[in-house]
Amino acid sequence: MAGLHTAMVLAAGLGKRMAPITDTTPKPLVKVAGKPLIDWGLEALENVGVERAIVNVHYLADQVDAHLAKRRTPAIVISDERNELLDSAGGIINALPKIGFDPFYVVNADTFWVDGPKPNLVLLAEGWDDARMDILLMIAAKDQATGYDGRGDFHMDNDGRLRRLGLGETSPNIYAGAAIIHPRIFAGAVAGKASLNRYFDAAIATGRLYGRRMEGLWLTVGTPDAIGEAEAAIARQTVDG
């Protein structure tokens, strides 16, 4: 598909596991390899031609606002959740009037990646099929990831269709914090707190949740200890690359 022009950046979370750093600094502004987490995602969006990024803010929102005010591309539109934290889907639903009617990127502000030969957001856009999909997730394998010790998120078939893990099952497939979503999945949604997992499950029920495997390195920084691990992995990737 042609390049996407709009993105939603989820940046409103409390980041409690990153305390004590997040006692005074919002998690999107925590630096890894000298760069605030949110800038890793915004630069990835800028590099693939995204023109507009809607960013939701809640915790220590004034700091996030001030940081984003310095940015020129992509153009930043703030979605203010100071009064109530709406969770991942609720934040998107709240911002739908700003997002519009076309498929858009969703990027978590607290995970990021180092691209392979082709930008992963380009791979994601190339994998989008409007006729078959409502949501397309960027998928990392466990051997591409740092800072992750879970059991995996989805099974993925040869066509990229995703389904949930059963009780006691594991999978190498991790949702890597970036996606393409068509706004139609939120038709009839009521404003308020809601998780994206609800909409992942809705897309699974209709066979319209898919994954696209990423290239390169995926990093999640959930605790202060994970910062050094991520920085070491970035340094290794830079040398190897």
Q: Is 234 a member of any domain?
A: yes
Q: Is 1 a member of any domain?
A: no
Q: Is 96 a member of any domain?
A: yes
Does this model's pTM top 0.75? My answer is yes
Q: Is 12 a member of any domain?
A: yes
How many beta carbons lie within 10 A of that of residue 181, not counting itself?
23
**Domain that includes residue 44, residue range:** 6-240
Q: Is 33 a member of any domain?
A: yes
Q: Is 215 a member of any domain?
A: yes
> Into how many domains does the chain fold?
1
CB 230 within 8 A of CB 147: yes
Q: What distance in Å separates the CA atoms of residue 122 and residue 47, rounded to the nearest whole number? A: 10
Q: Is 235 a member of any domain?
A: yes
Print pLDDT tens along the chain (241 aa): 556 899 999 999 999 999 999 999 999 999 999 999 999 999 999 999 999 999 999 999 999 999 999 999 999 999 999 999 999 999 999 999 999 999 999 999 988 899 999 999 999 999 999 999 999 999 999 999 987 888 999 999 999 999 999 999 999 999 999 999 999 999 999 989 999 999 999 999 999 999 999 999 999 888 898 899 899 988 887 656 5
Looking at residue 15, which CATH number applies to its domain?
3.90.550.10
Q: Is 87 a member of any domain?
A: yes
**How do strand 162-164 and strand 154-156 relate by DSSP bridges?**
antiparallel
